[in-house]
């Protein structure tokens, strides 16, 4: 029987064309494995699985009729793997969504503060932070697409230690409020200053209400379209403003390659600013939102690894260019004798240089950055929270058969992310800049736990599988990242405590 399967497979094109007959062949192999428990059939079933043929992974303790997201195992609606340049371009999306989710109020303030206080001297920190995030999230994506268990990253962390599930549930709950608090204030302030009427809390209600309508019944295609439109607005706003103002390429290159940590300038010391940058760019809980966008796109299995890599590489380049544009504006417009004390400082100074058109142009970019972050954080943390809850209840070794975005907890998490943060728009609450810097520095404490767990599950063949486990240089990069995470968390806590005591 098995010999017939092996010799018939090449004629059916099992390893090239995942058609319906191949799915049946994968199911036969899994059932044969369950009956005989032979290593040969297990290897055949796993090989068919990694080729995207469908069926449950044979290494899972149970054979489920649904995968993590509740779709059928053979996933007939999966998007085709791109083969031409234009097909790749049309396929891009999840990376841009997660980058615009990251690129919110934190980046605008952190880059502006760093540029205004230190000119180009801290620019190398931006490059280090972006590199850290690229490695970190690339490993997350590789586990999501290629692990031998056919599970998500959160499931792998829970397999490593069961306490990861409740920890990430609590983190999604707590940081959902923290993240959305300063972004809600930022959205309200940017709309008020852009249009010149209304109160911050009124505009915040309008922004969060429209986001709630978009996310309560999540549709990935609609969300991807919205994000691509706002990406065009961001590119015209930030890059256009930076080019309009002008900058020194020589000073910028010196800042990229000259490693230094200058003394304190203004209200915020360099350690706090650098820690906030690492929190907003180099590593955060929202890195774990990327797998949910990949899954919503329909990318499941190693066959999507190549398109995912190019998708994320393009997105990281976009993130670097946009952050660099805001940094240039801070360095050229504010440095060395002007400071950012409120959100309107940089656009107001731009209006003195570029006129009213420059102010409006930059505020459009701020709104696009903040609003996409509000949407991305709510859907990402809502998915993560409901997934963590289901994983915690099911245990670490049982495959989840429920779609977590259809779970009631997803909607409750979205409500939690969008409604309670409106309280921070009440007059007299902490200002936008202070909320942003303290929140982004505080989140760095999570990075060592996440970096350590991800290093473990991606380095061990027991979790990701021997074919995709880290190579020696990737383990070296992850070791460096873990040490930097510990150091950054320690300094971040010290800086925040000192700022709260003396600020």
Phi/psi at 268 (5° precision): -110, 130
Supply the pLDDT for residue 431: 63
Position 191 confidence tier, pLDDT thresholds 50, 70, 90: very high
Residues in the chain: 503
The mean per-residue pLDDT over the stretch 420-441 comes to 73
Encoded tokens for 414 = 């979205």
Range name among 117-121, 348-352, 494-498 with the lowest pLDDT average? 494-498
Q: Give yes or no for residue 24 having a pLDDT over 60.
A: no
Supply the pLDDT for residue 30: 37
- Count the helices and strands in the chain (H runs, E runs): 22, 0
The Cα–Cα gap between 138 and 305 comes to 10
H/E element, 167? helix 164-195
Position 342 confidence tier, pLDDT thresholds 50, 70, 90: low
CA angle 377, 464, 471 (to 5 degrees): 100
Are 378 and 411 spatial neighbours (Cβ–Cβ below 8 Å)? Answer: no
The mean per-residue pLDDT over the stretch 420-446 comes to 72
The mean per-residue pLDDT over the stretch 197-225 comes to 90
The mean per-residue pLDDT over the stretch 387-407 comes to 85
- Tell which wins on pLDDT, 472 or 338: 472
For residue 401, give Cα distances in angstroms to 71, 152, 390: 9, 13, 9
Task: Give the residue extent of every domain in the chain.
Answer: 1-88, 92-502
Supply the pLDDT for residue 266: 57
326: Cβ–Cβ under 8 A, 6 or more apart, which residues? 107, 108, 111, 112, 115, 238, 242
Half-sphere exposure of 93 (CA within 13 A, CB side): 20
Q: What percent of the chain has pLDDT over 90?
A: 37
Helix, strand and coil content of the chain, in percent to the nearest 5, comes to 75, 0, 25
| Residue in 415, 471, 478 with CA at minimum distance from that of residue 136 | 478
Encoded tokens for 481 = 């990242």
Are 258 and 124 spatial neighbours (Cβ–Cβ below 8 Å)? Answer: yes
**How do residues 205-218 score in pLDDT, each as one tens digit?**
999 999 999 888 76
Position 54 confidence tier, pLDDT thresholds 50, 70, 90: very low
Q: Give yes or no for residue 243 having a pLDDT over 50.
A: yes
Supply the pLDDT for residue 97: 96
Q: What is the pTM of this model?
A: 0.78
The mean per-residue pLDDT over the stretch 198-211 comes to 94
Range name among 44-48, 435-439, 467-471 with the lowest pLDDT average? 44-48
Q: Give yes or no for residue 17 having a pLDDT over 70.
A: no
**How do residues 66-123 score in pLDDT, each as one tens digit?**
333 333 334 546 889 999 999 999 999 999 999 999 887 667 777 777 787 788 887 8
Instruction: For 2-26, give one letter per residue: b (16+ CB within 10 A) or e.
Output: eeebeeebeeeebeeebeeebbebb
Supply the pLDDT for residue 10: 36
Supply the pLDDT for residue 256: 81
Question: Considering the domain 92-502, what is its CATH architecture?
Answer: Up-down Bundle (1.20)
- Tell which wins on pLDDT, 256 or 241: 241
Supply the pLDDT for residue 207: 96
Supply the pLDDT for residue 237: 92
Long-range contacts of 417-420 (CB under 8 A, 24+ apart): 417/176, 417/177, 417/179, 417/180, 417/377, 417/378, 417/381, 417/382, 418/180, 418/184, 418/208, 418/211, 418/212, 418/215, 418/374, 418/378, 419/208, 419/212, 420/177
Residue 268 β-bridge partners: 265
The mean per-residue pLDDT over the stretch 379-390 comes to 94
For residue 72, give Cα distances in angstroms to 69, 105, 384: 9, 39, 21
Are 450 and 143 spatial neighbours (Cβ–Cβ below 8 Å)? Answer: no
Position 341 confidence tier, pLDDT thresholds 50, 70, 90: low
Supply the pLDDT for residue 403: 77
The mean per-residue pLDDT over the stretch 316-331 comes to 89
């Amino acid at each position: 029987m098995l010999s017939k399967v092996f010799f018939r497979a090449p004629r059916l094109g099992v390893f090239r064309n995942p058609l319906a007959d191949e799915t049946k062949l994968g199911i036969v192999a899994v059932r044969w494995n369950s009956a005989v428990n032979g290593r040969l059939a297990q290897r055949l079933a796993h090989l068919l699985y990694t080729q995207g043929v469908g069926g449950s992974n044979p290494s899972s303790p149970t054979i489920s009729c649904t995968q993590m997201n509740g779709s059928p195992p053979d996933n007939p609606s999966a998007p085709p793997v791109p083969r031409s340049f234009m097909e790749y371009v049309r396929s891009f999306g999840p990376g841009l969504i997660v980058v615009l989710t990251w690129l919110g109020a934190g980046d605008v303030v952190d880059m502006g503060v760093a540029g205004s206080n230190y000119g180009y001297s801290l620019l190398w920190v931006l490059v280090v932070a972006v590199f850290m995030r690229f490695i970190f999230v690339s490993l997350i994506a590789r586990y999501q697409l290629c692990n031998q268990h056919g599970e998500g990253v959160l499931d792998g962390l829970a397999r490593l230690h069961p306490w990861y599930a409740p920890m990430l549930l609590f983190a999604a709950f707590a940081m959902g409020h923290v993240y959305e608090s300063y972004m809600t204030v930022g959205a309200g302030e940017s709309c008020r200053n852009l249009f010149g009427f209304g109160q911050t809390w009124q505009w915040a209600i309008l922004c969060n209400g429209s986001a709630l309508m978009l996310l309560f019944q999540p549709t990935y295609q609609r969300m991807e379209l919205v994000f691509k439109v706002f990406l065009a607005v961001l590119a015209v706003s930030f890059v256009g403003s930076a080019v309009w103002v002008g900058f020194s390429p020589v000073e910028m290159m010196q800042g990229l390659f000259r490693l230094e940590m200058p003394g304190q300038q203004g209200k915020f010391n360099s350690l706090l600013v650098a820690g906030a940058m690492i929190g907003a760019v180099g590593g955060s809980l929202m890195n774990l939102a990327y797998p949910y966008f990949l899954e919503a796109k329909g990318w499941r299995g190693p066959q999507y690894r190549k398109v995912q890599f190019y998708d994320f590489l393009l997105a990281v380049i976009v993130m670097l260019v946009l952050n660099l544009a805001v940094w240039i504006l801070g360095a050229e417009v504010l440095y060395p004798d002007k400071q950012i004390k409120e959100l309107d400082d940089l656009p107001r100074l731009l209006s003195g240089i570029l006129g009213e058109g420059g102010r409006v142009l930059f505020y459009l970019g701020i709104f696009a950055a903040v609003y996409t972050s509000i949407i991305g954080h709510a859907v990402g943390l809502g998915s993560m929270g409901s997934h963590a809850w289901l994983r915690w209840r099911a245990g670490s070794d049982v495959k989840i058969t429920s779609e977590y975005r259809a779970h009631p907890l997803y909607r409750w998490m979205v409500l939690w992310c969008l409604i309670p943060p409106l309280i921070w728009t009440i007059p007299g609450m902490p200002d936008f800049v202070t909320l942003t810097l303290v929140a982004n520095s505080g989140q760095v404490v999570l990075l060592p736990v996440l970096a350590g767990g991800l290093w473990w599950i991606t380095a061990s063949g027991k979790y990701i599988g021997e074919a995709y486990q880290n190579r020696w240089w990737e383990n070296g990069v992850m070791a460096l990242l873990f040490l930097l995470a510990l150091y950054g968390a320690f300094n971040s806590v010290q800086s925040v405590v000192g700022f709260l005591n003396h600020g």
